[in-house]
Structure 1
Amino acid sequence: MASRPYRSKAIKPQTPCTFLTKPKARKHRSRTNNQIISPLEPSPLLQNEVVESVINHDQRERSGLSEELALAPNPPFTPLQLDDIDLSFLARIGPRYLITEKHIKPGSEHFNSSTSMHDRTCLYSGISSDQGPSLLRHLVYDQLDCFGNDRQLFWRVEAQEDSAYMIVYPSHHLDGHADMYEYDHIEAVFTPHQTELVDLYFTYVHTSFPVLESRSTFEKKRANSCLPVSLLALVYLHGSAFWHIPHRCIFPLIDQHALHPYIYSCLTFEARTPNLEVIQALLLYTQLPARFNRAPNYPGIWSTTSLLTGMAQDIGLHIDPSGWSIIPEERKLRRILWWAVLLHEKTMAHWLGRPSHIKWDDWNVEPLQLKDFADEDGRMEVECVSWANAFIALTNLALIFSDLLDSFYSVRSNFQTMKREVALQKGRLIKDKIQVWRETHGIASGTNAHAYHYTAHLTALTIELSTQRAILGSKMSVEQDSHDTTIEDIYHTITQTLFNILDSRLRHPVSGLCLNYNKGSLSMIGSLLISLVLSSTSEIILNERRTTLLEFHARLQLLVNEDEDCQSAEFAQFALGRVNLILEELFGNHRGSSATERRDPNTTKTPWGNETNEKFWISYRIAFP
């Protein structure tokens, strides 16, 4: 161990930090009515605007709602009818930020146990930083491992040889969101159904994507106003997606898509003061259903992914917290959130064909275990074990996704310029890892499967097919071509594995959040099947390949039809639209009935209506004789 650096006796020990020193009072000049309001200050109009949700139909017309919105500072506010709220007005209630100094509340004796605190933001100090370990290890820390003052505090969260440091700033110095913990508007929109929506969230969403703590912890944070407004809105919004239980349908809910712009604007401000709760909110935002099913991917999804990755690294999620002096519950949560971020980033990089921002050498968080989902006494409810194991298995696939991207889909390791023998060697390594993953985790299927099981199965299958796709696209000699079985392997994987997964999903419908990653998986598979059809070299091969494509298309259509009654199959709609757009451009431009129309399983649902399989391909033979 290195010897302690020399320190002069002239340097006095640091006075313990208490955050109790009051800031100096500032004098503010009075402003007359004729003076211009600074753009950095909140508009008085925005301060006074309040959503009026009580509409007295006997006294005013519905069309006059916008004129009747109260502008008094504190008007009566007792929302009753959610469908009477002016949604266009809600979109104008943007987050405001204040660059004003305010006194930090007492209670700082607890700051050493959590990196999430009101009015303060903890940012990780990296090893190459201008305020990195080279400087920080020489400072004199008090009994709370702190050095500094209310404007900038260095916190040694791990007092080991390779210490970890957080720099704590006042949030108002980071131009934070002033209304970050103000719930009035959001609570008004969902009153009086908040409890039911939280129930639905933890029943259908949390089991597929467990990025929040337990229900009791969530309720405690909500009661103490410790959740950012974006996170609270997203929990309500995700719960409302499952508002399809019959006895609840009589109660109208807000259109969930109407809140998307408001939540996104909140997140852009909250990103300036990142913490664990903001990371949770952005992860949940990436799993919202699309507002519209259109040709592009989700608007700004890669930019949002980059923002998520940057915030995670900003607060040090990429560093293993096992030795940190924080509460055990936060250590668990930090591990869970890092693996959720890693899974999202690797999956989206593959789906969108983008270079991954996270490299193997830049993080060291231990893999998830069941104990990370247990309570403070190490106990878990029996029904929680299934979804926790499924999420652990899903996050482990992020490592194989990383190998896949590095092996075949990077700029310097591109399968299109790779020799076939090299591609086969790399492909065998990935295939072996997938096989070990399946043997290790044993994900349920059939009648015992839930939505989170299907996500894990489909993600593993996507890695397998993407590996085979890369091998197929590599360079090979004429001699190798006669013995190549890659195409046969692809069709065997699709017909024997993928179709079994989709058929099981159709036979045993499930309720629960199917992660948006499934959309990219099915879309990639559809594109692969179309490319194989277009590369057919004979009539026999064409017939075989088009049959498989039609079977895949039919299963997607059946999943979309199922989505008429619930949100659990919404993921198939995007992939079906992608396939239809390409087929429509290739084989015709006729349009027919709605995509959700029930059909005969023996016919193919094309973009221009129901046609027999044979008729569907007549134009193909003309275009490609």
Structure 2
Amino acid sequence: MSPLETPPSPARFPHHAAAGSRRYRSKAQRPCDLCRARKALCNIPDPSRPCQLCDRTGRPCTFLAGTKSRPTRCSPGRSSADDGAADSLADQTPLTASSFSRNDARGDLVVDNPTSLSPAFGGHPLGMDEMLPTQWSPDLEQLGQAEAFMQDIPNFWSIPYGDASVMGTADSAVEPNSGNEEALSRPQVQATLNRHDRSTSFIGYSNESDPFLLEHYPYNAADELDFFMVTYRRPSSQPVSAGHPPIHFLQSKPQAVLQNQEAMTGCLALKNERDLLNEIVSVEMGVALLRLYLRFIFQNLPIISRTELLKDEEEFIKSTSPGVLAGMYALALPFTSWDEQFCLDSAYSKPDVNRLWQVSYSCLQRELHFPSLSTVQISLLLLNTTTFDPVAVETPFAWSLACSALAVAQSLGLHVDPGPWRGLPAAEARLRRRLWWTVVAEHGWRAVTHGRASMLREDDCNVTPISHADFAGVEDAHGAADYFIHFCALTDIVSEICRSFFTLRTVSKVQDLKDIMDRARPLQRALHRWLESLPPSLSLDQPASDATNSDVPDSRASLHVAYFTARVLLLRALLRPIVRPRLPDDHDDDSAVHEVLQESRDFMRALIAVVRGLDLRYTAAFWPAYARHCLCYPGLFCYMLCFQRRSPRDRAGDEELFARWRGVLRARVGAWPLLRFAVVKVDAVFWKKMEHTREKRQWSG
């Protein structure tokens, strides 16, 4: 035993009247003092023993702290976030400000001075296990007890939105912009963002959930808005103004995260990934899956040497990292019906895709200490893992992995142009260039959809733009090169849009319509030139070359969805000064406002027509993982358009456009599961009856 550890003394633990689980806010069965302070589930399996948390940490399981009386609420709404750690810790003798710090997302306390303890914690020195974060058990049943189904969702169904008095009640939705004086005078409810029962993520300004749109959502008195499995949290009610951009957090329940963790629990225990991979996929089937990868996925992820693969496929399997092979196999599995040999076998049984991703992930962890090109390849493949739940919010792991891939790529010198390196084989030089631009593209689009600032600086790389020469020796090189070249060019434009309009410094400035339009015009022209430069092979209205190929999956549609996302980002920036409440010193040109609104409506009509025209050969193709977020942008942008106040006569048309987009999604989601996340985003607006909120906000005052 460590000399710092103090063995628990049975005499310190009182006997409890009853066993069972006690919620930290329970009145009938109060939790112990430690569980109340940590907002933890107080689980007492045996009434003669302390609770699980106190038993594990060796702390006294006491019930000494008295309850603190709370001020009376003006309405009987649900308990707000001030039931949290701030009030619970207030029941204890306070520590000094420097004696503790928040350690992680669970909100556990890490005491800097183990001898400076309050009497409420027993006054005994902390053991090593107490100074470490509590290891919360990933038990879904226990989480279900701690998080009762939909218990915290406010009753929006009974709120009469037509009654103006409802909007002024303490526990009802608060309008963030329509009453700035009221928002400033309303006391700020303090609650920690560091909740152990939530995964908290900052919502960036290019995220599909536009923070400027979230300002219009009906938050309660605690500045929270609950949906089914997530909570939108606004930590400050400060009105949006110059120097005060909208700040929002998304707090999601851990069930989806635990599913991902469970799938990876045994990964690092794998002893020989290659032997395991050979058990899952035979060499014969591996060759077939590699051919399918080249046929259906290579143009999106040209991260391997096609020349080396086709030279000797079995030798390629023997010499390539099993993590790379496992990722390629997993992405190619949905297309086994297009292989003449395995189409029948795949109808009855397929390799376990989860085990393939386990092999890939395990190899990545092993290779990170000694990275090579395969480490970058595995990272790029893992970034395109299909989520366990298509409607689950993506965890920060994807953004962390994208940044890690960029860091490894820079460590390997991929950001340096290998053209002048004469001692390098030409095939390897081409592969390095393709790998670098794939990393740039994946990192760039993850930065967009996660609302993060890119970790890549333009002056930190000198690799020239990708070209057809980088696909030399590839069968159908022109088709694969065309897609990837135009995709990389579009990524550059989108990255410039984010740098111009979606950085923290930019959104903190005064949102002047004329200034935004002047800065947006060059980018609009760049997008127009990009679209005009597309070859016929990448045009959506280009028919298949022959009847045989008319139903073969074709991934060109993902390129156009990325283009539409870029257009939405520009139009969102232009809508900011239009949807905000009009200030006395606003002098926006009405013709400019009309131009932006009309362009937004024309764009949505064109987009609806394009999505309606996507048939099975497009929807059945390979789609990058971030595409499900891109498909969310049009719906929330259309909802944002409904908040404009400058053209009241067009209100009905904007609402009809929003409903039409919702109908398009609903009609296609059954055959196209990738749309499920976009459908949930739009349906949530109607489920929470927030269209009434929009109406109330738009026409009040």
Letter in 2 for 1:287: N
**Residues 491 and 236 (structure 1), Cα distance of their counterparts in 2 relative to 1, 3 Å cut:** same
Give the alignment's Cα RMSD to 1 decimal: 3.1
SS in 2 for 1:311: helix
Q: Which residue of 1 aligns with 2:374?
A: 277
SS at match of 1:561: coil
Q: 1:190 aligns with which of 271, 281, 296?
A: 281
Quote the residue 2:541 is aligned against: 446
Q: Tell whether 2:571 aligns with 1:398.
A: no
Counterpart CA distance in 2 for 1:396 and 1:487 is: 28
In structure 2, runs of 5+ residues without a counterpart are: 1-260, 545-552
User: What are the superposed Cα offsets for residues 401-435 of structure 1, whole Å, 9 maximum, x if unpaired?
Assistant: 22111111112222763422221111001011112
The alpha carbon displacement at 1:350 in A equals 1.3
CA distance in 2, matches of 1:374, 1:521: 31
Q: Distance in 2 between the 1:440 and 1:95 partners?
A: 47
Aligned AA for 2:602?
A: H
Q: What is the aligned partner in structure 2 of residue 575 from structure 1?
A: 678
SS at match of 1:441: coil
1:363 counterpart (443, 451, 461): 461
Q: Tell me which of 437, 441, 444 is aligned to 1:343.
A: 441
Does the CA-based 8 Å contact 2:391-2:676 persist in structure 1? no
Read off the aligned partner of 2:564 and give its amino acid letter. L
Aligned pairs for 1:417-566 (under 5 A) are 417-442=510-535, 443-448=538-543, 451-474=554-577, 478-483=586-591, 484=593, 485-496=595-606, 498-506=607-615, 509=618, 511-535=620-644, 540-563=649-672
Aligned residues between the structures: 415
2:327 to 226, 234, 247: 234
Residues 9-158 of structure 1 mapped to structure 2, 5 A cutoff:
94-95=267-268
Q: Which amino acid aligns with 1:334?
A: R
* Cα displacement string for residues 356-410 of structure 1 (whole angstroms, at most 9, x for unaligned residues): 10011111101111111112xxxx53x4422320111001112112211111111
Report the Cα offset of residue 264 of structure 1. 2.5
Counterparts in 2 of 1:216-295, with a 5 A limit? 216-217=308-309, 220=312, 223=315, 225-244=318-337, 247-295=344-392
Partner residue of 1:165? none
Task: Find the aligned partners of 1:525 and 1:258 in 2 and give their Cα distance.
Answer: 35
Deviation for aligned residue 1:507: 7.2
Residues 2-38 of structure 1: CA deviation (Å, up to 9, x unaligned): xxxxxxxxxxxxxxxxxxxxxxxxxxxxxxxxxxxxx
Deviation at 1:308, TM superposition (A): 0.9
The answer on whether the counterparts of 1:91 and 1:259 sit within 8 Å (CA) in structure 2 is no
Code of the aligned partner of 1:463: A
Residues 185-205 of structure 1: per-residue CA shift (max 9 Å, x gap): 012112363233223222222
Partners of 1:515 and 1:263 lie apart in 2 by 18
- 1:236 aligns to what SS in structure 2? helix
AA at the equivalent of 1:550: A
**Distance of 2:576 and 2:400 partners within structure 1:** 29
* Residue 3 (structure 1) aligns with: none
2:275 aligned partner, one-letter code? D
| Paired AA for residue 360 in structure 1 | E
Identify the match of residue 329 of structure 1 among 427, 449, 473.
427
In the alignment, does 2:412 pair up with 1:305? no
> Which one of the candidate residues 205, 212, 216 is aligned to 2:297?
205
Q: Deviations over 1:204-224 (max 9, x none)?
A: 222332222216527748626
Q: Does the 8 Å contact 1:416/1:473 carry over to 2?
A: no
Residue by residue over 1:455-475, the C-alpha shift from the partner in whole angstroms, topping out at 9 and shown as x without a partner, is: 222212211221121122148
The answer on whether the counterparts of 1:391 and 1:452 sit within 8 Å (CA) in structure 2 is: no
Alignment equivalent of 1:373, drawn from 471, 492, 510: 471
Contact 1:351 1:524 (8 Å CA) reproduced:
no
Q: Distance in 2 between matches of 1:478 and 1:281?
A: 52
Relative to structure 1, the CA distance from residue 91 to residue 296 in structure 2 (aligned partners, 3 Å threshold; closer, same or farther) is closer
CA spacing shift, 1:435–1:90, aligned 2, 3 Å: closer
CA contact (8 A) 2:326 2:357 kept: no
Distance 2:397 2:310 in 1: 29
Is the Cα–Cα contact under 8 Å of residues 423 and 474 in structure 1 kept in the other structure?
no
Secondary structure of the 1:209 match is coil
Check 1:89–1:440 CA distance in 2 against 1; reply closer, same or farther (3 A cut): closer
Q: Where does residue 74 of structure 1 map in the other structure?
A: none
Q: TM-score, normalised by structure 2?
A: 0.54
Separation (CA, whole Å) in 1 of partners of 2:569 and 2:661:
17
Q: Is the 8 A contact 1:409 1:415 kept in 2?
A: no
1:230, CA displacement in angstroms? 1.3
Aligned to 1:414: 507
Kindly provide the CA deviation profile for residues 525-553 of structure 1, in whole angstroms up to 9, marking residues without a partner as x: 22211222244678753321122122222
Are the counterparts in 1 of residues 376 and 409 from structure 2 also a CA contact under 8 Å? yes
Answer whether contact 2:267 2:358 (CA < 8 A) is retained. Answer: no
Q: Residue 509 and residue 439 in structure 1: after superposition, are their counterparts in 2 closer, same or farther (change >3 A)?
A: closer
TM-superposed deviation, 1:618? 8.3
Give the partner amino acid of 2:437. W
Identity %: 20
Moved more, 346-355 or 545-554: 545-554
C-alpha distance in 1, partners of 2:599/2:452?
A: 26
CA distance in 1, matches of 2:358, 2:496: 36
* Contact 2:669–2:675 (8 Å) recurs in 1: yes
SS at match of 1:547: helix
1:289 and 1:312 mapped to 2: Cα distance?
Answer: 23
Q: Which residue identity is paired with 2:528?
A: Q
Deviation at 1:489, TM superposition (A): 1.0
Kindly indicate whether the alpha-carbon contact (under 8 Å) linking 1:349 and 1:356 is maintained by their aligned counterparts in 2: yes
Q: Which amino acid aligns with 2:420?
A: G
Give the Cα separation in 2 of the matches to 1:466 and 1:326. Answer: 41
Residue type of the alignment partner of 1:388: A
Q: Decide whether aligned partners of structure 1 residues 389 and 577 sit closer, same or farther in structure 2, where only a CA change above 3 A counts.
A: same
8 Å Cα contact 1:295/1:578 also seen in 2: no
2:324 is aligned with 1:214: no
- Corresponding letter in the other structure for 2:299: T
Relative to structure 1, the CA distance from residue 518 to residue 364 in structure 2 (aligned partners, 3 Å threshold; closer, same or farther) is same
Are the equivalent residues in 2 in contact too, given 1:519–1:571 (CA < 8 A)?
Answer: yes
- C-alpha deviation, 1:273, in angstroms: 1.8
Say if 1:416 and 1:474, in contact at 8 Å, map to a contact too: no
TM-score, normalising length: structure 1 = 0.61
* Cα deviations by residue, 1:146-173 (Å, 9 ceiling, x for unpaired): xxxxxxxxxxxxxxxxxxxxxxxxxxxx
2:460 corresponds to which letter in structure 1? D
